Structure 1
């Protein structure tokens, strides 16, 4: 492909310049094809949504695919943040800020969220946030690609439960507790937050098994976990450490807040009972608490201190709470 440029020098002289622009034309054609291809993807693909964010994380562009995935129109979405479409517990309200931070540091970052369609139904979305930069490498915002992974998530969650849950009580197992704690401690150190650990042990549990039988002992352990799940916040974790001993992790909680939660656990379990053919089974628990401080900054240190506090609670007569800072 040639372009012809004619320049008049004077009344008698003209200069003709021929330029080969084949490469430029081919490039422009490819770009137009790419734009058309992307437009088709944004419009046609059903389980992907593409949108844009400002540097502050506010939605500034919305595609037909995003409307199809979420049910929200462009006018309803522009000016909102991604929190608008997700079911996040209060403890996780800063998770999007953390997601954006990781994206800026790494170039892109991906996480899974439980989202809510405008109609009310929920779905799992894999959300990849990538940094946008101008030609001069100046940071200008983010591109977000969301994908509906509900079917895959449900299948993988069933497998995850087998690998991460205690098969009897449904509490987190010991190994997964340490995996979760590693992430929570990294987050706490990053944002200057506190974490508290509660160690909980069923009192005289051997007598329960001896008097009522092991199957009823199992029901008692299940009831402890069920009661704890009703007391704890969505972001808290209860794990079965072994036998009748449980560990509870409380992110963003100081010593006073941990003691309040511990007392709610103790009193709720004391007030409960488990029905059996021979009557009602009553159970109490002893609890030890420890929170992060300058001398207790690692999970191992917190667990050791909470366990020591639990030992003191048992030595005081059981059915009570002891904080490591109380002795």
Structure 2
């Protein structure tokens, strides 16, 4: 059946970037919207390949494989969400729908791809994902995301036969600070503490606010001696910051419980349970110190 009206309105649609590819995967025609999306002009088309507009080699291999399936009549179409590369080096996110282009005898001549820019939707998605994983005051991971990342870190450590340790940290007498000076000042203490800890931690370490004045750090590839060194550096750094505090700032301290992964640990809960017991012993010993599950 022939179309009831001209398809020019689709080709010229301001929301759809359309490209036609021959059976070699070469670009043979593009719409003005497509050029606008990728920041190319018509003179660039002859030298472009699929790899030029995708963000990495893995995506290029996958896209070429899917195109080959279309050209070999193994599939009629496919749909993907991709991060595309622009001529100027920038990127945008798009939904792409690719279908076979055939003649009346159903011979595959090439493919037609339609791209819709979804960068705004992706930006909102990333923002919501970030907000759902981060503590709003301290701007570090929240409890839920900490458990997700740390459980995976434990699996990775077991797979690689690597050590892993956990620090469980509590700000000493924080309730008294809040009661005497108010919650806004307590919030300042929390933010200051987070800044101090970030100064010490390594890039792969997982740092989170577990609740109230309680924090946790998962230390990948960290044995018990390495974990105690990091804990002591945190204590020392807080002491240094306290020594430089302004007259209107209240010094504070923290206690740290340390646990190192064992063969018989069934999950993160076992590690946290031992770190929490170590933290309790640090509090009982006078606060402003660490204790380990080996003590």
CA distance in 2, matches of 1:253, 1:152: 39
Seen in structure 2, the aligned counterparts of structure 1 residues 263 and 157 have a Cα distance that, compared at 3 Å, is: farther
- CA-to-partner distance for each residue in 1:260-300, whole Å, 9 max, x for gaps? 11111111122224978x71221110001111122435211
Alignment of 1:178-193 (within 5 A): 178-193=147-162
Shift of 1:316: 0.8
Q: Which residue of 2 aligns with 1:162?
A: 131
Shift of 1:230: 2.2
Pair 1:307-2:276 in alignment = yes
The match for 2:183 among 191, 194, 214 is 214
The match for 2:27 among 22, 40, 45 is 40
- CA-to-partner distance for each residue in 1:11-51, whole Å, 9 max, x for gaps? xxxxxxxxxxxxxxxxxxxxxx986362329x998899xxx
Q: Which residue of 1 aligns with 2:263?
A: 294
Instruction: For residue 281 of structure 1, give the secondary structure of its aligned residue in structure 2.
Output: coil
Shift of 1:211: 2.4
Seen in structure 2, the aligned counterparts of structure 1 residues 233 and 155 have a Cα distance that, compared at 3 Å, is: farther
CA distance in 2, matches of 1:316, 1:153: 50
Pair 1:246-2:246 in alignment = no
Seen in structure 2, the aligned counterparts of structure 1 residues 213 and 34 have a Cα distance that, compared at 3 Å, is: closer
Instruction: For residue 249 of structure 2, give the secondary structure of its aligned residue in structure 1.
Output: strand
**Contact between 1:227 and 1:269, CA under 8 Å: does it hold in 2?**
yes
Seen in structure 2, the aligned counterparts of structure 1 residues 153 and 182 have a Cα distance that, compared at 3 Å, is: farther
Seen in structure 2, the aligned counterparts of structure 1 residues 122 and 40 have a Cα distance that, compared at 3 Å, is: closer
The match for 1:225 among 189, 194, 209 is 194
Which runs of no fewer than 5 residues in structure 2 stay unpaired?
1-19, 39-47, 59-81, 95-116
Q: Which residue of 1 aligns with 2:113?
A: none
Instruction: For residue 279 of structure 1, give the secondary structure of its aligned residue in structure 2.
Output: coil
Shift of 1:217: 0.3
Seen in structure 2, the aligned counterparts of structure 1 residues 125 and 217 have a Cα distance that, compared at 3 Å, is: same
CA distance in 1, matches of 2:237, 2:158: 32
Q: Which residue of 1 aligns with 2:143?
A: 174
Shift of 1:152: 5.4
CA distance in 2, matches of 1:287, 1:123: 44
Alignment of 1:250-289 (within 5 A): 250-273=219-242, 279-289=248-258
CA distance in 2, matches of 1:293, 1:244: 27
Seen in structure 2, the aligned counterparts of structure 1 residues 207 and 196 have a Cα distance that, compared at 3 Å, is: same
Moved segments of 4+, more than 6 Å: 43-48, 121-126
Q: Which residue of 1 aligns with 2:16?
A: none
Shift of 1:67: 4.5
Q: RMSD over aligned Cα, in angstroms?
A: 3.9
CA distance in 2, matches of 1:150, 1:194: 40
Seen in structure 2, the aligned counterparts of structure 1 residues 184 and 283 have a Cα distance that, compared at 3 Å, is: same
Total equivalences in the alignment: 220
CA distance in 1, matches of 2:26, 2:202: 43
Seen in structure 2, the aligned counterparts of structure 1 residues 312 and 275 have a Cα distance that, compared at 3 Å, is: same
Q: Rg: which structure is higher? A: 1
CA distance in 2, matches of 1:226, 1:194: 26
**Contact between 2:196 and 2:238, CA under 8 Å: does it hold in 1?**
yes
CA distance in 1, matches of 2:287, 2:206: 23
Pair 1:197-2:184 in alignment = no
Q: Which residue of 2 aligns with 1:28?
A: none
With the length of structure 2 as denominator, give the TM-score of the two structures.
0.62
